[in-house]
Amino acid sequence: MEILGKVKFFVVSCSSDSRLDVRNLLVWGEMGQARWLPETEREAGRRIRECRRLMKCAECDAQIHEVRVNRTKSTLLKQA
């Protein structure tokens, strides 16, 4: 299988009710309105700080995960 492109982004995970139970784990990439997943670790950190400010959880267990995806399907966009 030929790799036609690589996509790198960051995902933030947390257990919304502060219980470290994988069944309660949420994965999110937006606050307020839908957004793309963060492309930098710094942006993911900013979103965690924004969430802490808004949600005021007693205990925050947010964690940043780097994700890399290899694209094997050609894109519809023409490159110049």
**Interatomic CA distance for residues 12 and 38, integer angstroms:** 9
Please tell me the predicted confidence (pLDDT) of residue 42.
Answer: 96
pTM above 0.85, yes or no: no
**How confident is residue 71, by pLDDT bands cut at 50, 70 and 90?**
confident
Phi then psi dihedrals of residue 47, to 5 deg: -70, -35
**Interatomic CA distance for residues 27 and 63, integer angstroms:** 10
Instruction: State pLDDT tens for residues 12-66.
Output: 888 775 555 666 666 665 555 667 888 999 999 998 998 889 888 888 889 999 9
Please tell me the predicted confidence (pLDDT) of residue 32.
Answer: 59
Which residue did the predictor score with more confidence, 3 or 16? Answer: 3
